Amino acid sequence: MKKVFLTVVGFSMLCRFSANAQLKHDSTIKKANFSLYTPVGYDTSDYRPRRLRVDEIDIFSSYYKQDGQHSAVTGGNGTEKVTDISNGVNLNLVWLDQALRKNTLSLGLGLDHHTSASSGYIALKGGANEGGSRIYPSIDWTIEDSKKGSTFGLGAYYSHEYNYQSLGFDVNWAQKTADKSGELGIKLQGYFDQVTQILPSEFVPPPTYIPPGSTTYTTPSGQTIITSTTGKTISAPLTYKPRTTLTAAFSYSQIINSKLQIMLLGDLVYQNGDLGLPFHRVYFKGGKDTIETLPSTRIKVPIGIRANYFLGDNIVLRSYYRYFIDNWGVSAHTINFEAVYKINPFFSVSPFYRFYTQTASKYFAPYEQHLATDQFYTSNYEYSKFNSQFFGAGIRLAPPKGVFGIQNLHELELRYGHYITTEQLSSNVISLSLGFK
């Protein structure tokens, strides 16, 4: 469930940012400028704001809907229907400090609301369509020294939903080459999560004391609620387990010539803690069910390359390849293509296509295929063998007098994407972004 919702946010950010993430299958999102590519050696030395001012406000919204029949909540066999509405705003403030360095402070706030048919089955006799919300503020501070060709930044992030809260930090540094045709970047990130241990209803232990005459009710989220004869509500306590994710990301971009630019990418990701979700059921051969159990550590290594080619004045071709491997037995390949065609200087269209394929984790097996002797087990199809395709198109308006004649509305971008997998999961997402100056 969690990774689906993060993907929705990532796609909505594509109105302003291109996201390097797999729908449902990769919650690590890398954001990069989605407007027509700005050369690495672009010189901002003429930028001279005299005081703190609002540089840009971005507002984005998206609607996401998916369907499938392999819900992890019911052991890999059940509805995966999800809908999600995502809204957010980013405020960019800029100023020049005494050393004539450009400072940018970005403040973000996002809010999602989702409904999910499968989460209603956390209770064994469930079926109700459950819903929830997620809020995620962020703050980023970047200092750019155009004379030295260096950039330094700090960021902090928070996310909260009904069973999950996350606090994240990052520090990043980039340095241009002497001729400003290349740039080396390093980013270190840490996310520190607390996951509420919501159990399937059949595994929820009762409270240690139930007053005589009390009524008992198990919520769809698996929590036992007891109301005593005096009207006092008692509930079985929920426990919390930590999860830590540490990432070191490296990049190098280079202008090859006036038409071709490339970027090399590599990450090292280390996770530790409770990496499974207890409300994900697993059914052994014979029909007995249990709770998803996964190792407490995971190491992931994605490496990739981007290439942008300027085919004349009106067409930019973008391509991307990524190879992924981890110590759970998963390896994957991603190929992405996008063409940006400028119909005129103020209107462009951008069809895109992405193909993804991965092998299955050694800990995955479908419904009623695990053995009771297995040490680790999951029936979450995120870890299964599958292929996926994601395709769609976007349009972008940026007229000099403002979109629809509104002077401060300098940009509008609308995108639609359709996602399908060989495991019969499908989804549609549409997103809108508005940029104000």
**Three-class secondary structure of residue 325 per DSSP:** strand
CA count, 13 A, side-chain hemisphere, 108: 21
pLDDT at res. 33: 32
- 3-state class of 238 per DSSP? coil
Q: Tokens 């005081």, residue? A: 51
What's the pLDDT at 24? 37
- Residue with token string 């299958």: 25
- Nearest residue to 218 (alpha-carbon basis) of 196, 241, 230, 235: 235
Q: For the chain, percent helix, then strand, then coil, each to nearest 5?
A: 5, 60, 35
Spatial distance between the Cα atoms of 65 and 73, rounded to a whole number of angstroms: 18
User: In the numeric block, which tokens belong to residue 211?
Assistant: 């007053």
What are the residue boundaries of the structural domains of the chain, listed by start? 2-36+52-198+238-436
Angle at the Cα of 391 (from 390 to 392), degrees rounded to 5?
140
What is the pLDDT, as a whole number, of residue 22? 35
pLDDT at residue 224, as a whole number: 58
Q: Are 26 and 394 contacting, i.e. CB atoms less than 8 angstroms apart?
A: no
CA dist., res. 188 & res. 262, Å (int): 22
From residue 168, how far is each of 103, 193, 218, 245 by CA, in Å? 21, 8, 33, 9
Q: Which 8-state DSSP code applies to residue 330? A: -
**Cβ neighbours of 186 (radius 10 Å):** 13
Q: Which residues of the chain have a pLDDT value below 70?
A: 1-50, 206-238
Exposure class string for 135-158: b at 16+ Cβ within 10 A, else e: ebebebebebbbeebebebebebe
The phi-psi region of residue 195 (left if phi > 0; otherwise alpha if psi is between -120 and 50; otherwise beta) is beta
Class of domain 2-36+52-198+238-436: mainly beta
Which pTM does this prediction carry?
A: 0.83
Can you give the pLDDT at residue 230? 58
DSSP, res 384: S
Residue showing tokens 């998803």? 292
